[in-house]
């Protein structure tokens, strides 16, 4: 007599395997039998319910009334990491997403490497409640709140790091507790996915950081050539950002490259706006960390449902770049892009 798996056994096995599959393989599995089709549908529903895969304090759902895509598939990381190996970066299915189990806990404290790189043992020795004040060694003396006091440009902010004795409730770690505001990822007809506020946000409120892979400039050039080719054919929406910061001497420039195209967080969905947008980018330095982190704060009061945007940079660098659909009065018609 031939042994035959029962629907219950198939479903139990599917709950372990299907959350590991990318969309194409998930669809192939769904065509095998009725039990797998139902299990795959449940995985898709749970994926659409939380882009953050349970790795942020709050779920961040997808909303799509434009086409049949229920979600965007990528490897999620709440904070930037040193460049992954080529095999890991190209195979995001290794991270389970859409299982029936309860949402896993958010990252434990301290976050394992704010930049994925070795950090120096340094920090402040402030008493409880004094971190970030005038005597705190980690605070940025030039920062005005979140750097929002200046018109345009990028702000700066200093925060406590791994060498500080303070815990996650420290007021000088405001960008290190994940995405604590309600957001949703919304599908647009021309722009693709975009990040929207799902609650009212006040000016100066922290929204999220831009997380992905820290890359060398050489690797950026290599990837950009590939991304340009795929994007021109409509097969990819790159999320690679290059940050340049001129040092006080004016003779040198710090360049930080973050690629969230395949490995990133919800900030990869923030679209460009030629008028500067409603988010203010701030470089945050945590004591002991080698590289700064790019974080976003509300540049003004933002109403519930409003799309979150910022300026990617100067569009004149590449006049033949991808079209811009920001809809602002001063729209240049072309998205800014890094020269290869």
Chunked into runs of 10 residues, the chain (340 residues) has average pLDDT values of 58 82 92 89 95 93 95 92 59 72 58 54 76 77 48 79 82 90 96 96 96 91 86 80 76 83 95 91 87 94 96 65 80 70
Tell me the CB-side half-sphere exposure of residue 41, using CA atoms within 13 A. Answer: 8
Q: What is the DSSP letter of 294?
A: E
Q: Give domain limits for the chain.
A: 63-78+105-317
Predicted local distance difference test score (pLDDT) of residue 94:
63
pLDDT tens digit sequence for 94-150: 688 988 776 665 555 555 554 555 555 678 888 767 887 777 888 754 444 455 555
Report the distance separating Cα 10 and Cα 32, nearest Å. Answer: 11
Q: Are 284 and 273 in contact (CB under 8 A)?
A: no
Q: Could you give the 3-state DSSP secondary structure of residue 241?
A: strand
Predicted local distance difference test score (pLDDT) of residue 105:
56
* Per-residue CA distances from 331 to 100, 146, 195, 241, 272 (Å): 44, 27, 19, 20, 10
Q: What is the DSSP letter of 220?
A: H
Q: Are 136 and 264 in contact (CB under 8 A)?
A: no
State how beta strands 293-298 and 309-310 pair.
Answer: unpaired
186 forms beta bridges with 63, 194
Predicted local distance difference test score (pLDDT) of residue 33:
86
Find out if CATH 2.170.270.10 is the number for domain 63-78+105-317: yes
With 0-12 / 13-18 / 19 or more C-beta atoms within 10 angstroms meaning exposed / middle / buried, residue 65 is: exposed
- What sections of the chain are H helices per DSSP? 7-17, 23-30, 34-49, 86-90, 217-232
Predicted local distance difference test score (pLDDT) of residue 142:
42
Predicted local distance difference test score (pLDDT) of residue 340:
38
pLDDT tens digit sequence for 54-81: 999 999 999 999 999 999 999 999 988 8
Q: Which residues of 224-237 are buried (b: 16+ CB within 10 A; e: fewer)?
A: beebbeebeeeeeb
Name the one residue in this structure whose structure tokens are 């602002």: 328
Sheet holding 213-215, edge to edge: 81-82, 213-215, 253-259, 240-246
Query: How much is the pTM?
Result: 0.86
Which token pair is 338? 């890094």
Residue 253: count other Cβ atoms within 10 Å of its Cβ: 9
């Amino acid at each position: 007599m031939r042994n035959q798996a029962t629907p219950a056994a198939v479903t139990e096995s599917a709950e372990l395997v299907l959350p590991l599959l990318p969309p194409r393989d998930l669809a192939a599995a769904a065509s095998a039998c009725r039990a797998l089709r139902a299990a795959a549908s449940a995985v898709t529903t749970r994926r659409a319910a939380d882009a953050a895969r349970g790795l942020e304090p709050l779920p961040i759902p997808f909303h799509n009334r434009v086409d049949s895509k229920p979600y965007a598939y990528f490897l999620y990381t709440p904070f930037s990491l040193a460049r992954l190996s080529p095999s890991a970066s190209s195979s995001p299915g290794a991270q389970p997403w859409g299982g029936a189990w309860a949402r896993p806990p958010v990252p434990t404290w301290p976050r394992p490497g704010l930049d994925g790189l070795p950090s120096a043992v340094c920090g402040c020795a402030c008493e409880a409640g004094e971190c970030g004040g005038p005597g705190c060694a980690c605070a940025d003396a030039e920062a005005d709140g979140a750097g929002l006091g200046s018109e345009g440009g990028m702000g700066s902010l200093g925060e406590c790091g791994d060498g500080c004795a303070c815990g996650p409730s420290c007021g000088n770690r405001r960008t290190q507790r994940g995405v604590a505001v309600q957001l949703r990822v919304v599908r647009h007809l021309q722009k693709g996915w975009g990040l929207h506020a799902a609650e009212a946000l006040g000016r100066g409120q922290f929204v999220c950081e831009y997380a992905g892979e820290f890359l060398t400039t050489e690797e950026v050039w290599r990837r950009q050539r590939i991304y340009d080719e795929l994007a021109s054919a409509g097969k990819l929406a790159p999320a690679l950002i290059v940050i340049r910061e001129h040092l006080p001497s004016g003779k040198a420039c710090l360049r930080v490259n973050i690629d969230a195209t395949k490995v990133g967080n919800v900030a990869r969905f923030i679209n460009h706006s030629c008028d500067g947008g409603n988010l203010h980018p701030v470089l945050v330095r945590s004591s002991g960390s080698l590289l700064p982190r790019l974080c976003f704060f509300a540049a003004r009061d933002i109403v519930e449902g409003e799309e979150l945007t910022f300026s990617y940079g100067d569009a004149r660098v590449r006049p033949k770049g991808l079209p811009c659909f920001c809809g602002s009065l001063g729209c240049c018609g072309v998205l800014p892009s890094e020269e290869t």
